[in-house]
Structure 1
Amino acid sequence: MTFGVLIFPNVEELDFVGPWEMLTMWQQVAGGPKCLVVSEHAGPVTCAKGLSVNPHVTFEDCPPLDYLLVPGGQGTRVEVTNAKLLEFVAAQGKGCQAILSVCTGSFVLHAAGLLAGKKATTHWGSLERLRALGNVTVIEERFVQDENLWSSAGVSAGIDMTLAFISAVAGEESASKVQLASEYYPSTKRYGSLHNTHPAAPAYARDASQETPSK
């Protein structure tokens, strides 16, 4: 089994580094799949906040993937018109057991023809933009599963989605091992009042009881 994590210029760091930590911890403690960072070109990729990352493989030498994660960030505004990237996502998606997006990675999935008719979510700042596409049912939750397609809200939400994905495909005990090894027990503390007062705050942030994905 091989899990590909896509990156591109101006990708949001935590969108893929958070899931990468969960995935590689899964590999380490519970026999999870091999993980590869994939980009269009060889050589360092500069992320949104300045982190430079060296991919393992390019589109040309990437093996068939069993799973694919597409992160978001400002770079998606360009990548939704990148024919080579969209062809890669669409082609790999046909053989994948599951496809996951984080943040505005959902727009890449849509541009690749994988999101039409699905339920999905994205970063709270882009929820209306996702609704405007017209053929996506937008759910304001931390993460959403629709058959083999998973999507999460912004940035840190990808960690929650990935842990839930591990539980779904490998069982709760595997997810428990990953959760303990990574010491991922997020606080329920809400700081300040923006989650209740900001007009665009997502429903899941206003309602802390929303813990499970929509199916």
Structure 2
Amino acid sequence: MRIGLILFPKLTQLDLTGPAEVFARMPGASVDLLWKTTDPVMSDRGMAIVPTMRFADCAGLDMVCVPGGPGQIDLMDDAETLEFLVRIAAGCKLVTSVCTGSLVLAAAGLLVGYRATSHWSSIDQLALLGAIPTAERVVRDRNRITGAGVTSGIDFALTVVADLLGDQAAQEIQLQMEYDPEPPYQAGSPRSASAALVAATRAKIAPFIARRRQATERAATTLLNAGRL
């Protein structure tokens, strides 16, 4: 199983490293971190991560995965990355994402007519790009599998392993990782957090979400002009 995860500046590292940790433990899998160059890439919180393969050197994959993070806004206007995704997805068995990586897939025209999820703060923007927003932690629609925000990347990856190799293989990896979350608060989703906390958080991130929406609207216009939406 040849797996490629897109690495880009200002991504949220857990969107990438959570699934990468799971997939690297999957028997028979090879995992590459893909970017335009092999120079270190800085995450949104200052962690430098080194790509293992350039887009130009990637001839084919069985699965591609796009993580999210603040850098996703710039990526939606990045023709080289979007063209790579269109090219590589054509030969993939699975086309996947975590968090707002689904907006990048959608900007490439790869989620038109598909159910998909994203971070709770921006899931509604998927509709602008022809996808069907679905507020679930992991969403499968044909060969598209998308995970919700950040930490859901581990759930997403374990779901993929179970689909490919069965429940036993996925459970073994979960046990190896001691993935047994017991969060100190029931505040990890708008469904469990208090209304006051959700409102305060939305207000705090509103300017950033507005910037993301502008990028999504530009991507929608591009797809429309190309007759792909």
Please say whether Structure 1 and Structure 2 have the same fold, judged by a TM-score greater than 0.5: yes
Residue 180 of structure 2 aligns with which residue? Answer: 185
Q: Is the 8 A contact 1:25 1:182 kept in 2?
A: no
Query: What displacement does 1:199 show?
Result: 5.0
The runs of 4+ residues in structure 1 deviating greater than 3 Å are 188-194
SS in structure 1 of the partner of residue 136 of structure 2: coil
Aligned mates of 1:91, 1:14 — CA distance in 2? 26
Residue 94 of structure 2 aligns with which residue? Answer: 98
SS in structure 1 of the partner of residue 16 of structure 2: helix
Aligned mates of 1:200, 1:130 — CA distance in 2? 23
Query: What displacement does 1:11 show?
Result: 0.7
Aligned mates of 2:66, 2:200 — CA distance in 1? 24
Number of residue pairs the alignment of both structures matches: 196
Residues 1:118 and 2:114 aligned together: yes
Matched AA of 1:191: Q
Matches within 5 A, 1:65-214: 65-131=61-127, 133=128, 135-187=130-182, 190-191=185-186, 195-197=193-195, 198=198
Aligned mates of 1:105, 1:43 — CA distance in 2? 21
Residue 15 of structure 1 aligns with which residue? Answer: 15
Aligned mates of 1:36, 1:136 — CA distance in 2? 27
Aligned mates of 1:117, 1:62 — CA distance in 2? 27
Gaps (5+ residues) in structure 1? 202-215
Q: Is the 8 A contact 2:109 2:129 kept in 1?
A: no
Aligned mates of 1:43, 1:16 — CA distance in 2? 17
Hey, which of these two has a bigger chunk of helix by percent? 2
CA gap 1:128/1:83 in 2 versus in 1, 3 angstroms: same
Query: What displacement does 1:92 show?
Result: 0.5
Query: What displacement does 1:129 show?
Result: 2.1
Q: Aligned-pair RMSD on alpha carbons?
A: 1.9
SS in structure 1 of the partner of residue 57 of structure 2: coil
TM-score normalised by structure 1 residue count? 0.86
Query: What displacement does 1:32 show?
Result: 3.5
